[in-house]
Structure 1
Amino acid sequence: MQRPGEERRPPGTLARVAVGASVGRHTDHRDSVRMASKRISQETFDAAVRENIEEFEMGPDEAVREATEQFESQGVDLSTIVKTAPRVSADGPEEPEHDVLQALDTLAVLTDGQPDLLDAQGLQLLVVTLAQGTGAANLTCTALRLVRHVCLKHEQNRQALVKAGVLPLLTGAIVQHGRCADVVREACGALRVMTLDDDIRVPFGHAHTHAKMIVQENRGLKVLIKAAEAFPDSPGILGELCNTLSRLAVRNEFCQEIVDLGGLGILVGLLADDTNHQDLMKQVLSALRAIAGNDDVKDAIVRAGGAESIVATMTRHLANPQVCEQSCAALCVLALRKPENSRVIMEGGGALAALEAMKAHPQEAGVQKQACMLIRNLVARSQAFSQPILDLGAEALISKARAAHRDCEDVAKAALRDLGCRVELCELWTGQKGNLAL
C-alpha cells in the first residue's frame, strides 16, 4: 500500500524497470525490433503481478492482464511464462510454500493436454515428491494432478510411472490425507487414468494389469471404501470414489471384494438417501452396474433392495437422460440370466420406468438402447412378462427407437422378437458363394 508522503507510481513501473535492466539501458521505439527477442524470468513476471495487486489494489486477474500488456508493449516474449493469477486470501496474495510446489504447479499447467512434455527428470521429481511430500496436502495434491495430466492418453508415461513405483504412492496419499477432499479427489483421478486404454499410438495398453496391481498389491478397494466413510455429506467426493470403484471392478473376485468390504451397503444406501445430486446418482448406478458383472453380486444387490432403489432413482430423476441410461443399464445387468431378479424388477415397476424413460428421451440413443436391452432381458427367460410389457405400449416405443437410432437396430429387434412381436430377421449370409469370383 502507498505510504504517507510517498509518490504513487503508475501501474507497470516494475515491469518497465525489469525490462530496462534486462536490456542493460533505456530503450526507445528504434529498439523495439531488437527487444522482441528479449525474455524475462518467471520470478520477474510474478513480481510485477504482485506489485499491481499490492501497490495498485488490482484484482488478481486484472493484475495479470496489466503485467502482460506492459511487458508485451515493450516487445518482451512471454511465450515461456505461465500467466496465472496468484491465490489470494484475506491477508493478501499467497506465496507458494516452497520451490518444489511452485515447480510442480508450473509443470501441471504446461502438461495439461501435453503429456509428451514429461521427461525422465520430471518423472523422478514427481515420484520423489509423492514419496517425501506426504506431510503437505497441497504439495501432494499438485503432484497427483500432474500424474493425471501426464498419463492421460499417454501409455508410455503410465508404464514408466508404474515401473517407478507410483501406484502405492497414489493409494498412500488417500490413506495419509483421507480427510482432505482435494487430495482424495486428485488421487481418484490419478488412479482412474492408470486404468485407461486411450493412447492410439500403441496397439494395446496395460490398463487391466494396472487395475489388478492397484487392487491386489495396494489394497485399492479397501482404501477407497474406507475413504467413502469419511465423506458422508460430500456428494462430489463420493462420486469420485464411486467412479474409481467402477474402473477397478474388472474381475469377478474384485466385484465380490467390494461387497465383502461393505461397498454394496454404501452404494445402495446412497440411492436410498433420496438425494437430489444427479451426478452422484449417475456414478453410484455406474458402480452397481460394474459390480453386477458377478452373478453372485447380482443376487446380493437384489437382496439388499438395490433393484427397487434403482427404479425409484430413475423415476425420481426421469428428466435426466444420464441417470435414466445408467438406471436401465444397471437393471439390465441384474436381469441377465436371472429370472428371479427379473420378477423383482417387474414387480417394482422397472419395465414401466424404462418405457417412461424412452418416452421422455426419444432423441437419446443411450437411453433407448439400454431400455431395449432391459426389456429383452426381462422376458428372455420369463415369457409370462411379455404381455404385461406389451400392454404398456412397449412395441411402439421399441419400433420407434429402432427407426430413429442406428445403434438400436440389433437390440430393438432382439427385444421385439423375445416379446413375440412380428419382426423381420434378415439372413445376411447363407454360406453360398453366389456371384463372387474366387
Structure 2
Amino acid sequence: MVRVITQETYDDVVKENIEEFDMTPEEAVKEAIAQFQAQGVDLSNIIKDLALGSGEEHAVTTIVNKLRNLCSATEYDNEAVLQELDALKTECKKDIAHRVRAGKEGAYTILIDLLEARQKIYLQNASEADGRFIVSVLNTLTSLMNMQPDLLEAKGIDLIISLLDNTDSSEVLISTLKWTYHCCTKHEMNRQGLFGKNISKNLKTLLQYRKDVKVAVAAMRVIRKFTVDDDVRVQFGKAHEHAKVLATTSLLPLVILLKENSDVNEDDKQNDKDNAIPEGDKTQDKQNDEENTIPEGDKEEAIAEALKTISSLLVRYELCSLVADNGISLLLFTILLKYKREDIAQHACTLIAALAGNDDVKRKLMQAFIAPLIISILNKYIHNPKTVSQALKCISTLTLREASHAKQFFSCDAAEAIISSMKMHPDDATVQKNACWAIRNMVARYRDENSKFHELGAEELLNDAYKKFSDDFGFDIKSALRDLECDVKLEEQWKGKGKEIEK
C-alpha cells in the first residue's frame, strides 16, 4: 500500500531540518526527501523545492490568492489578471505537484468563473482583446488540468460546448480543443459527459473549418481521445460506441479534408482547366489564392492527423467500405508516392492495415498497386521498428487468404524485405510477430515461393525468434514454420483424461 502525506507535513519537516539541525535549504530538502522515501511515502504530488513566495506561502498559493482577489472586484485590471495567469501557467508547467497544489487552492473554480464572465462579454462584442483574454484563460486551464482531468465538472463541460458552438475565432477554438483534449485524457466520465452534450456535432463542424487547418488538426486529436479505453478506474468504457457515432458523422469530412490537403483531387483539377480564367482577370484571383494558401507544413500535419483519425474510427466492416467508396485507394497511393515524411508513411500503413480488414476493400487496395509502395517504405525506413512493424502488418493483412496478393508481393521482393526486417530488429517483439504473420500469410495459400524464404534463411530466424518470444506468440511462429513446410513440433493445446462423458 502506497503511503501519502500532505504538502504541509513535508514543509514542516524541511523547516524543522533548517531550524533545528542548522541545515541549508538544499540540505534540508535532500534530507526530507530521503527520509520520506525510506518510509515508502509517495512524493509525486509534493512540491519538493520549498519555493515559498511571500511569507510562509508557496508561490502557487500566492499566485492563486492574488488571482482570486483581483477577480473578486467588480472591475479588475485586465493586465494584472493576465500577468497572474501567465505566472500560474508557468508554475503549473513545472510538474504535477504544482498543478495539484493549484487545484487544491481553488484555481479551477477561479478560472472557470473568469472564463464564463468573459465569454458573455465576448458573445456580445467579439473584440480581439477579449479573444486574447479568453485564450489566456483557456491556456492556463490546459496547463492546470494536464494529468489531472478530475477537476472538470458540469459547468466546465457546458463552457466547452458553448465555446465550440458560439466561437468563430481559430485561436479560441484551438485553445478550447486543447483544453478538451486534456479533459478527455484517461478520464472516461469526462468523455461520456461531453459526448452526452453532443460534442460529435461540434467536431464534425470543426473538421470542415476552412479558415485555419490547425483547428481541424486539434479537432482530430480530440476525436481520437474518444476512441480509447485508457481509464483504469472504469471497468467498461464506451470507446467502441463513441467511435461508431463519430465514424458516422466524421469519416466523410475526414476523407474530404485528406483530399484537399493532399492536392490530389483530380476532378477539381479538371474543372479548373475547363473553367480557365482569362489572363486579364487573374490578378485578383491570384491575390485571393495567396491569402488562403495553407503552408506545406500545416498540410502535411493535417494529412498525418487525418490518416491516424480515420484508422481509429474503422471499427466496423461497413465503415471500411464507406471510406473505400470515396476513393481512398488511389488517395493512399498518391500520398505514399508524393510525401516523404516518415510519420505520414507510417500512418498510411496503419490505415491500409485497418481498411484491409474488409476483403472487398483489400482487393481494391491491391488493384491500386499499393504493394510495391509498401515494400519501398519497408526498405526505406528499415531502421525504425515502428514503421517496419506497420508495413509488415500491411503485408500480413493484404495477403491473408489471398494467393494472388501473395504472388504480387513476391514479385515486389517482399520476401527479401521481410527477412531484412527480422535481421535488423531481432529483439523487437512487434517486428518479429508481424514478420512471422506476413511470412505465414504469404505462403499459406501460395506455396510456390516457399523456396525463396528458405534460401533467405527464414527458418533459422523464426527458430531464433521462438527462443526469445515463445511465451508471447510461440504458436504464431510455429504456424509460420509449418506453412513453410519446415520441421516443427506442434504441441497439443488440450488433452482429454480418457474418461467417458457421463450420460
Give TM-score scaled by structure 1 length: 0.77
Partner of 2:463: 399
Equivalences, count:
371
Higher helix share: 2
Corresponding letter in the other structure for 1:421: C
What is the CA–CA distance in structure 1 between the aligned matches of 2:103 and 2:235, rounded to whole Å?
A: 40
Decide whether aligned partners of structure 1 residues 77 and 150 sit closer, same or farther in structure 2, where only a CA change above 3 A counts: closer
Is the CA contact 1:328–1:367 (under 8 Å) kept in the aligned structure 2? yes
| Cα pair 2:247 2:314 within 8 Å, conserved | no
Secondary structure of the equivalent of 1:432?
coil
1:32 aligns with 2:55: yes
Q: Deviations over 1:95-122 (max 9, x none)?
A: 6625543332222222221121110000
After superposition, the C-alpha distances for 1:126-147 in whole angstroms (9 at most, x for unaligned) are 11110111x1111111111122
> Does residue 361 of the first structure (1) align with residue 425 of the second (2)?
yes
Contact 1:325 1:370 in 2 (8 A): yes
Query: In the alignment, is residue 387 of structure 1 matched against residue 447 of structure 2?
Result: no
2:187 to 154, 158, 169: 154
Structure 2 CA distance for partners of 1:129 and 1:394, relative to 1, 3 Å: same
Q: Which residue of 1 aligns with 2:140?
A: 106
| Aligned-partner Cα distance in 1 for 2:458–2:322 | 38
1:230–1:179 Cα change, 3 Å: farther
Q: Provide the residue aligned with 1:7 in structure 2.
A: none
Distance 1:34 1:246, change over 3 A: closer
Distance 2:137 2:163 in 1: 11
Contact persistence 1:144–1:190 (CA under 8 A): yes
Give the aligned residue type for 1:378.
Answer: M
> 1:35: Cα distance to partner?
10
Give the letter for the 2:257 counterpart. Answer: A
Verify the 8 A CA contact 1:368 1:408 in the aligned structure 2: no
Long gaps (5+) in structure 2: 1-53, 72-76, 95-101, 109-127, 263-295
Match of 1:123 among 134, 157, 172: 157
Q: Which piece of structure 1 moves more, 191-200 or 365-374?
A: 191-200
**Structure 1 unaligned spans of 5+:** 1-30, 53-59, 69-75, 83-93
Q: CA deviation at 1:203?
A: 2.3
Cα separation, 2, equivalents of 1:257 and 1:114:
38
Match of 2:362 among 272, 276, 298: 298
* 1:401/1:408 contact within 8 Å kept: no
- Cα gap change, 1:34 to 1:422, in 2 (>3 Å): closer
Residue 164 of structure 1 is aligned with which of 197, 209, 228?
197
Q: Say whether 1:141 aligns with 2:196.
A: no
Opposite residue 151 of structure 2, the aligned amino acid is: L
Q: For 2:55, give the aligned amino acid.
A: S
| Closer, same or farther: CA 32–105 of 1 in aligned 2, 3 Å | closer
Matched ranges for 1:315-326 at <5 A = 315-326=379-390
The percentage of aligned residue pairs carrying the same residue is 30
Q: Provide closer, same or farther for how the CA distance between residues 230 and 180 of structure 1 changes in structure 2, counting only shifts above 3 A.
A: farther
> For 1:146 and 1:283, how far apart are their aligned partners in 2?
25
Matched with 1:348 is 412
Choose the corresponding residue for 2:243, options 199, 211, 219.
Answer: 211
Cα pair 2:304 2:344 within 8 Å, conserved: yes
In the superposition, the TM-score normalised over structure 2's length comes to: 0.68
2:304 is aligned with 1:239: yes
1:352–1:392 CA contact under 8 A, matched in 2? yes
The offset of 1:79, in angstroms, is: 6.3
- What do you get for the CA RMSD once the two structures are aligned? 3.1
CA distance in 2, matches of 1:108, 1:207: 23
* Alignment check: 8 A CA contact 1:96 1:102 kept: no
What CA distance in whole angstroms lies between the structure 1 residues aligned with 2:451 and 2:411? 14
Measured in 2, the distance between the counterparts of 1:148 and 1:382 equals 47
Distance 1:179 1:378, change over 3 A: farther
Give the SS at the match of 2:177.
Answer: helix
Counterpart for residue 259 of structure 2: 229
